[in-house]
Amino acid sequence: MKTANDFRLSVNSAEQSSGRSLRVVRARAMGWCFGVRDAVAATRGEANPSSVTVLGELVHNADVTAELAGRGFRSLPGPGDAGAVRTAAALVTAHGASRGDLARLRGAGLRVIDATCPLVRRVQEAAAAFAAEGRFVVVVGVPGHAEVAGVVGDLPEDRFAVVRDAASVHPWPHDRIGVVQQSTTDPATAAAAVAAVRVLNPQADVAVVDTVCKPTRDRQAAVRELCATLKRGPGPATVVVVGGTNSHNTARLAALCEAEGVRALRVAGAGELDPSAFAGVRVVGLTAGTSTLDAAIDAVEARLRTFKISPPFVHELSNTEQTDWRRWTAAEWAACFQANGVRRDDPAGPGAIPWPCPAGERRPTLSAAERAATLDSIRMFQLGESGTGRFLQRCAAAYVAAGGDPDYPAALREFLAEENRHAAELGRFLDAEGVPRLQRGESRVAGAFRASRRLVPASRLGLEWAIVVLLSAERVAIAYYAALRQATESPALRALCRNVLRDEVRHLRFQSAQLAALRVGRGRVGRAATAAAEGAALWGACAAAYLAHRRVFRRAGMGWRAVRRRARASV
């Protein structure tokens, strides 16, 4: 008989691949815009780099920043402190600078290399014209962004407001308002903000100049087309967005994908691609922010093409488990679960979860779109995974009393301990996100599963029925955790899902083996009735789970049929 030590043998990945590589579809417009290209060209033409200070990030691109530093360019955080420049020349980036800052730089005797993008200058001029007309200026953009700072830098403190979106628009005590947009604002966000300005300021004459730049529009339109194409294709729709972590337009492209219901994976370069993030993906979209070099995009595409299409979730079981599980005794299952617990508790082991903060503390990692799609659902699963399993234990005792395997209750206890570990990990994740856990009685789905397990009184038959219901829930859980893993970029949640998926496969096998033991000697009619009951239970579990968790499934690109297919194919 195997013991817990036997199960501590190294695990091997049973991840299968079809041998075919991911197909990559590029957005028709992406990357490098002319404003960024010209700014970079201005530095490349500079004969004496160490005599030039770059005022801010030339572009939001770590490679370009490193190249400039390597060539000897000095840098300062922005154009606002002329006195801090220690070189003969200062370079204003494509994001621009206010006229006041430019005057102070020139007044300090510096040679100013002005790489301001002409389309940023257009935003500055529109804002200045509104101010000259006596209008209160509203800039739709990111407060504190270098471009926005340049646009409002010459305006008196009480004569402008910067709003990120419609939600941050206020009523203002002015009868003339002028609205401009940061050049990389999403046109839909800009339109909503303008509408909000009009609604909340009915007394005002509101004038608008559309200052969203054409390269931004083209890239955003292209990403919408790309999302539509991917959603019609096979597998979960996923777009890789290449760009710097602090690039506003890269963030906008990712947010647009999310708004279209397509998962966006943001990377700064090929080295950040994680093959496991593409499990189940067949066709991947590719786009890039306006600061991204062609070479970086090409490198990401080349690496993506080396990834093989893999199944939607990873089973990582030992060779022994892959082949022998149908013959295991209850004692062997108990040992297997114990060994798994030891592996999971190892903070340096392969199952370690990269928690963003200590237990009980709060540090959210989910994006707004991820929160909206997943948190309610995670709360339900957290409640569903918890529980003492008293009814199951009573059934197990009845089974032993009727001559069943005396080790079965111990195996069941270890199994329940694993379920409760899942609940604890999901609970810790919810704590970190600052979301309260559900209490018993607060989830109708969890309550329905619990009640349906108890339809047959505690007995050998009651145990069989409870396992049938449990098995259906485990199968649906495999589809669910695979979808949840696809639906998030949070490293902690992805690792948590990976662990649960591996455990659930074992749970499924444990329950299947026990059902087989309970049904030994059953005739053809009995087996047919059993199969029909199992089919009905699985259909019901899929329907309930799909209704309750459809936002997660949809975000992962899984419709009703895909959920049923995944649940049926789980063992």
Contact 516, 326 (CB under 8 A): yes
Query: Which member of 61, 93, 216, 292 binds ligand SF4 (CB under 6 A)?
Result: 216
Stretch 437-476: interaction string toward ligand SF4, x if CB under 6 A: ----------------------------------------
Q: Is residue 290 a contact point for ligand SF4 (CB under 6 A)?
A: yes
Query: Which member of 64, 91, 94, 226 binds ligand SF4 (CB under 6 A)?
Result: 94
Nearer to ligand SF4, 94 or 241 (CB): 94
DSSP 21: B
What amino acid is encoded at 357 in this protein? Answer: C
Q: State the nearest-atom distance from the C-beta of 216 to ligand SF4, in Å.
A: 5
Q: State the nearest-atom distance from the C-beta of 71 to ligand SF4, in Å.
A: 21
Q: Is residue 117 a contact point for ligand SF4 (CB under 6 A)?
A: yes
Return the residues of window 370-429 that contact ligand SF4 according to CB under 6 A: none
Rounded Cα distance between 408 and 69, Å, is 66
Q: Which stretch binds ligand SF4 (CB under 6 A): 33-41, 417-425, 457-465, 521-529?
A: 33-41
Residue 453: closest CA among 468, 440, 474: 468
Nearer to ligand SF4, 240 or 253 (CB): 253
Q: Is residue 119 a contact point for ligand SF4 (CB under 6 A)?
A: yes
Stretch 58-77: interaction string toward ligand SF4, x if CB under 6 A: --------------------
Q: Is residue 120 a contact point for ligand SF4 (CB under 6 A)?
A: yes
Q: Which stretch binds ligand SF4 (CB under 6 A): 97-105, 113-121, 237-245, 332-340?
A: 113-121
Q: Residue 250 — left, alpha, or beta (φ > 0 → left; ψ -120 to 50 → alpha)?
A: alpha
Query: Which member of 7, 29, 35, 89 binds ligand SF4 (CB under 6 A)?
Result: 35
Torsion of CA 106, 112, 115, 116, to 10 degrees: 0
Query: Which member of 36, 373, 473, 478 binds ligand SF4 (CB under 6 A)?
Result: 36
Torsion of CA 72, 78, 83, 85, to 10 degrees: 10
Contact 15, 307 (CB under 8 A): no
> Residue 35: which residues within 8 A CB-CB, separation 6 or more?
94, 117, 118, 119, 120, 213, 215, 290
Nearer to ligand SF4, 53 or 184 (CB): 184
Q: What are 564's two structure tokens?
A: 């049923």
Return the residues of window 241-270 that contact ligand SF4 according to CB under 6 A: 249
Q: Is residue 152 a contact point for ligand SF4 (CB under 6 A)?
A: no
Contact 530, 519 (CB under 8 A): yes
Q: Which stretch binds ligand SF4 (CB under 6 A): 71-79, 112-120, 267-275, 310-318?
A: 112-120
**Position with the least CB separation from ligand SF4:** 35
Q: How many residues of this chain interact with ligand SF4, rule: CB under 6 A?
A: 15
DSSP 285: E
Q: Is residue 184 a contact point for ligand SF4 (CB under 6 A)?
A: yes
Query: Which member of 68, 137, 163, 213 binds ligand SF4 (CB under 6 A)?
Result: 213
Which class for 38: exposed (0-12), middle (13-18), buried (19 or more C-beta within 10 A)?
middle
Query: Which member of 93, 181, 183, 367 binds ligand SF4 (CB under 6 A)?
Result: 183
Q: Is residue 43 a contact point for ligand SF4 (CB under 6 A)?
A: no
Please report the sign of the dihedral spanned by the C-alpha atoms of residue 333, residue 339, residue 340, residue 342.
positive
Rounded Cα distance between 69 and 49, Å, is 9
Q: What are 136's two structure tokens?
A: 């209160």
Residue 193: closest CA among 176, 206, 205, 174: 206
Q: Which residues bind ligand SF4 (CB under 6 A)?
A: 33-36, 94, 117, 119-120, 183-184, 213, 215-216, 249, 290
